[in-house]
Structure 1
Amino acid sequence: MGTTKPRPSGRASVAKVQSLPDKTFVIDNGAYTLKAGYAPDSAPPEDQSKALAACTEIPNAIVKTRGNKIYVGSQLNTHVTDWNEMMFRRPVEKGYIVNWEAQKEIWEHSFFDEKTVRSKDLRITDPEDTTLLLTEAPNALPALQKNADEIVMEEWGFGGYLRCVGPSMNAWNDVQSLFGDPIVQEANTTVSPKECLLVVDSGYSHTTVTPIYKGQPLQRAIRRLDLGGKHLTNYLKEMVSVRQYNMVDETYIMNEVKEAVCFVSNNFVGDMEQTWKGNRKRGLPDPSEGVMVDYVLPDPNAGKKGFMRPHDALLNAKKRKGGLSGASAEALSEDALVLGNERFAVPEILFTPSDIGMKQAGIPDIIMQSLSVLPTGLHPAFLANVLVVGGNALLPGFVDRLESELRQLASAECAVRVKCPQ
């Protein structure tokens, strides 16, 4: 009869827990750009501006030029001069990484390859001695999450790894000063998240509303609008292509136009009436002069970038008549888009998606839909702490319009504050 080995004591059976590496590398993997850098050594950081400077923004795309040249990631900022008819390959669709082959190439080029990394401060020399913090969009599919985990660990083998919902990270930032609230410093200097924060993330592929309670996203209250910066650019392309030049294949250029000229109107009907051509037909003064602008298209042959300027009706009339006299040859040779109501009609779809036939509510309404599933006692705290992030939040007038509409929808007892970090 065989003897049995004695069971190890409880203390001996517990495996030794390994500590995480000291260095933490953060990747906010957006659809248009990815933001990455090493986290500061101390929390909160001793120098806030220095900590922000460590974050680098890199185009999250692979492009092919008309001459069949391929550029990856940060090369788009340094090597490309002619953006005409550029073909883009983006690894992120609808907010989620769906093409890891392309994403791996961008990461390798941006963070691992010594020959192509833009800055030595951005290079990951030894993944085993590094913890990776990777953000993801809310409510990602489990299959996509599993795929990301397997590729990250099998390809690079980081010493530590955390995948988290991107909007939840905002609760750990210094949002108290942004909202003008008193900053309470804990005795042990431990960083605590904002207790209640409603994050509106309007990015390239979509817009999400995520209530954050003590640093944790409230999953059942998360709402999504399938509209983002990409849709605004495409809508602007269609409008300009019908009214002026064919810009259907000029996605990058039209995105630059959108960022330069578009704004969110706080009085959409009034601004539309201002740009109505019927006023001119009736001999009334033209009030659209303050709205209309010219955008001079880039000329790669002359090394000129595109730019916005005040609308010059006289110059445009001379161009139509063949440039008879009174204008320089350079001005007459320029190709310019004349933009009027397109400037505010394009961003308007974020607030009224029905304008383009979408059966979804606008951003203010989905915020109220999100709050409707939460206890009413939390509504005032969330409405008083609405944080908007993402590229669309930088459109002039976006914050004011959102705050104005939320005040109309919210209870009269609730204070509404909407802020955007600069």
Structure 2
Amino acid sequence: MAPRKSTQDLSSPPRRTLVIDNGGHTIKAGFSSPAFADPPPAPSDDSQTPQTALPLPSIIPNCLARDRDKKVYIGSQLSRCDDFNEMIFRRPVERGYLVNWEAEKEIWEHEFFDQKAALKCDPSETGLILTEAPNALPQLQTNCDQVVFEEFGFASYYRCPAPSLNAYHNIQSLFPVPRAPPKTSSPAEILLLIDSGYSHTTVTPLLQGQAIQPAVRRLDIGGKFLTNYLARLISRRQYDMRNDTYIVNEIKEACCYVSRDFKGDMERTWKGPKGDRREVYATSEGIAIDYVLPDYHKRSKGYARDHDPNAAGKLKNLTTGKSVEAAEDILTLRNERFTVPEILFNPSDIGMRQSGIAQLIWDSLSAVPFGLWPGFLANVVIVGGNANVPGFSERLDMEIRSLAPAECIVRVAKAADPIVSTWQGGAILATDVEALKRLSITKQEYEEHGAAWAARKFDGR
């Protein structure tokens, strides 16, 4: 259990704030305080003064894991594992919501309160900014508030939807004509935030950093869904990898891309009629790629390389029982590379009755006044791990333009670091003592007014 002091100075705010972006796949965590100076003003054309970079958080696997030797790993201990075959994971976050606090507390105890923890802190002297999924269930929010104050005893606490923290960046710097950063940590005036992460994808319109709740839209497809779908395709066509999702996730990150010409890429990867293989199929005009699987003897991590039909042929002979010496296990990916991330844009391809991202954006805009459309369409920002899939932002830009009114300017930008962008927004907020004090509640306030009062304040009521 986290250490707590019996007395503390309640008259002054905590000296530092622990910012936790509690994602389904990883926890992005680190400390921030007013000691982090605001970014300096943009230098003049003849100035060579370097800009101060935002701090980077620790990225911690948000899971408990057990390997085939029954050894258990907690959070960051996963980096010590050297064999991920048949690894079993237990994740506290399901479908984007924190539903298993027993597992989460064990991870937090190890990462933040253990004597040897890299981010060790005394919660009675530390503030907390904690993210949650948009439109989380009230009972889950109440459980979260109780654990933070009654189990850990943090001095102050701000629970907020993860997309809202991205408004504290200098959003205009992401677009082709950047502007100087604001002099204060005030949130961006208007922003349409696309967050495509491990558990799901959300579209959140933000005004002055506050989500317009009726316009929030969600797609139940994220990195986990794509990994599982890729594992099914590989298992059906090559190897059975349904129990090796960790390796399949690495394959996805190394090989997959979003196609800008889906029909053309499908044509290039078509094998041809039975008994009459097309010549282009051998390399698929550069689409085909080989992924060399780790053997955990010579290679602890797999890697992608250009497709070699001869190497693939040797492996095929080996798997059919012929005596051919093969030192590598190779997966050859063709249309899997782009059909898997295509689900984000066309879920109906696999029978899901949900709209793709572009249509979700349009549904979201339909729930806000028409006069705000130009502002949202001119400030579309993408965050989350799926934003790093090559071609994602370009394809989304193309699809939004095809739906937007001709008189509206469409600007789509990917955050400088999509995975840690939310955390960095929280770190910027933590540098503004007055703004954070206005948004947070203290442990004393929680004890005086109760969980229901805390829920109303975090909901803006």
Q: TM-score, normalised by structure 1?
A: 0.89
Partner of 1:7: none
Residues 358-415 of structure 1 deviation map (CA, whole Å, 9 limit, x = unaligned) = 1000000000100001111110110111111111111000000000000001101111
Contact kept, 8 Å, 2:271 with 2:278, in 1: the verdict is no
* Residue in structure 1 matched with residue 138 of structure 2 by the alignment: 142
1:123 corresponds to: 120
**Shift of residue 319, structure 1, vs aligned partner:** 3.2
Other structure's SS at 1:405 match? helix
Map 1:105-254 onto structure 2 (within 5 A). Answer: 105-115=106-116, 117=117, 119=118, 122-124=119-121, 126-183=122-179, 189-254=183-248
Code of the aligned partner of 2:163: P
SS in 1 for 2:251: helix
Contact persistence 2:83–2:300 (CA under 8 A): no
| Contiguous gaps of at least 5 residues in structure 2 | 1-8, 41-49, 417-461
Partner residue of 2:101? 100
Cα 1:402/1:237, change in 2 over 3 Å: same
Structure 1 residues 63 and 377: alpha-carbon distance in aligned structure 2, compared to 1, 3 A threshold: same
In the alignment, the residues of structure 2 paired with residue 266 and residue 167 of structure 1 have an alpha-carbon distance, to the nearest angstrom, of 27
Deviations 1:72-114 (A, max 9, x none): 000112x101000000000001111100010001111111101
Higher relative contact order structure (alpha carbons within 8 Å, sequence separation ≥ 6) = 2
Which residue does 1:281 correspond to in 2? 276
Q: Confirm or deny: 8 A CA contact 1:39 1:51 kept in the other structure.
A: no
Tell me whether 1:402 sits opposite 2:402 in the alignment: no
Cα separation, 2, equivalents of 1:259 and 1:405: 23
Partner of 2:45: none
SS class of match (1:110)? helix
- The structure-2 alpha-carbon separation of the partners of 1:59 and 1:413, relative to structure 1 and needing over 3 Å to count, comes to same
Distance 1:185 1:345 in 2: 39
1:322 CA displacement: 4.7
1:57 to 46, 56, 59: 59
SS class of match (1:104): helix
Residue in 2 that maps onto 1:363: 357
1:267 to 261, 268, 272: 261
User: What is the number of equivalent residue pairs in this alignment?
Assistant: 393
Distance in 2 between the 1:334 and 1:182 partners? 48
Q: What displacement does 1:39 show?
A: 1.3
SS of the residue aligned with 2:343?
A: helix
Aligned counterparts of 1:190 and 1:111: Cα–Cα separation in 2: 30
- 275-284 or 243-252: bigger deviation: 275-284
Corresponding residue number in structure 1 for 2:81: 80
User: Which aligned pairs between 1:330-409 and structure 2 lie closer than 5 A?
Assistant: 332-409=326-403
The change in CA–CA distance for 1:136 and 1:313 in structure 2 (over 3 A counts) is same
Superposed CA RMSD in Å reads 2.1
The C-alpha deviation readout for 1:214-256, integer Å capped at 9, x for no partner, is 1111111100001100000010000000000000100100000
- When normalised by structure 2's length, the TM-score is 0.81
Kept in 1: contact 2:271–2:277 (CA 8 A): no
**Alignment-mate amino acid for residue 57 of structure 1:** I
Judge conservation of contact 2:291–2:304 (CA < 8 Å) in 1.
yes
Counterparts of 1:74 and 1:149 in 2: how far apart (Å)? 25
Structure 2 letter corresponding to 1:375:
P
Aligned to 1:69: 71
Determine the structure 2 residue equivalent to 1:9. none
- Pick one of 303, 307, 313 that aligns with 1:307: 303
Q: Which has the larger radius of gyration?
A: 1
List alignment gaps of at least 5 residues for structure 1. Answer: 1-15
Q: Is the 8 A contact 1:43 1:190 kept in 2?
A: no
Tell me, yes or no, if the aligned pair for 2:24 and 2:92 is still in contact at 8 Å: yes
